[in-house]
Amino acid sequence: MIAVIFRFRTIEFVDETILVLLSTFILGQRPAIKYDYASFIADKIHGQFMNLEREGVFKYTSFIYHLLLYYHPDIFIFPIRKLDAKGERRSVIFWTSIFHRIADTPYTYYEFIDLFIHPTSTLLIGAPPPRLSGDIRKILQLSKNYRIGDRYFYQNHIEIKIYGCELCPYKLPNYVPIRLFSLEYFRQLINSDLTHLYNAKKKAQLKIRNQLGPFILNKREAWEDTDKILGE
């Protein structure tokens, strides 16, 4: 029963949990120790989460998505169908296809960011996040004397332009997370370096970050990989 309540997949931590619970109570007296149960349980669940295989990690993320949708459906503007054709309540996993990566899904990744990630961030933060974070703005323009690029805000998208890049910028969603910005940053900066500096055997004038967001840049050929990811 303890395992079910605490959402443990195995009974590995059950004995330890029971001992912690019992150790804080003395029969007939008030607890002498105030134990942080929430942190204890969270640490155990986190330990199990870190041991999941890659497929399990993404399933865990999917659970969070669907819980947010289930408890806060009113904050999203994409169509939600809670009832089936017979008028019976459907499982939350069938309310929308915005989370589903299938061939006939009507939603792109950019739409997923604008329609789900942005409203969710607003809910969690308590205010709408900026279209470009302060960190991203500093990367592009650290000061008046040190600028490596600019950003252009349109009604339905944002474009990033690194000075010297001769590639057409991708149309990024209205809300740009650091993951997407990192890919476009590396793609354009490498192109600028290859076009104006590297092929001419000149020393780079810009300090290129080799790590940004979740990505690490360790070779110039990586621009092809970033271009492929953004193109998809």
The single residue listed with the structure tokens 């998505």 is 65
Q: What is the DSSP letter of 131?
A: S
pLDDT single digits (tens) 36-82 = 666 766 676 666 666 666 555 556 677 788 888 888 999 999 999 99
Tell me: pLDDT of 12 over 70.
Answer: no
pLDDT single digits (tens) 83-132 = 888 888 888 888 888 887 666 667 888 888 899 989 998 988 888 889 99
Tell me: pLDDT of 178 over 50.
Answer: yes
Q: What confidence score (pLDDT) does residue 206 get?
A: 47
Residues 6+ apart with CB under 8 A from 96: 69, 78, 79, 80, 81
Residue 226: other Cβ atoms inside 10 A: 20
Q: What confidence score (pLDDT) does residue 41 get?
A: 64
51: its two tokens: 């041991």
Q: How far apart are CA 113 and CA 109, in angstroms?
A: 6
Entry field: residues in the chain: 232
Q: What confidence score (pLDDT) does residue 226 get?
A: 75
Stretch 162-178: mean pLDDT: 89
Strand-pairing partners, residue 158, are: 153, 172
What one-letter code names the amino acid at 216?
I
72: its two tokens: 């806060």
195: its two tokens: 């076009």
pTM given for the model: 0.61
What one-letter code names the amino acid at 14?
V
Tell me: pLDDT of 158 over 90.
Answer: yes
Tell me what the pLDDT averaged over the chain comes to: 75
Q: What confidence score (pLDDT) does residue 33 get?
A: 54
Higher pLDDT: 207 or 86? It is 86
Q: What confidence score (pLDDT) does residue 150 get?
A: 92
What one-letter code names the amino acid at 96?
T
Q: Is 81 helix (H, G, I), strand (E, B) or coil?
A: coil
Residues 6+ apart with CB under 8 A from 158: 131, 132, 151, 152, 171, 172, 173, 174, 176
Q: Are 169 and 184 in contact (CB under 8 A)?
A: yes
pLDDT band at 161 (very low <50, low <70, confident <90, very high): very high
The single residue listed with the structure tokens 């007939």 is 28
Q: What confidence score (pLDDT) does residue 191 get?
A: 85
Residues 6+ apart with CB under 8 A from 24: 31, 32, 33, 34, 35
Ranking 43-52, 119-128, 156-165, 172-181 by mean pLDDT, the lowest is 43-52
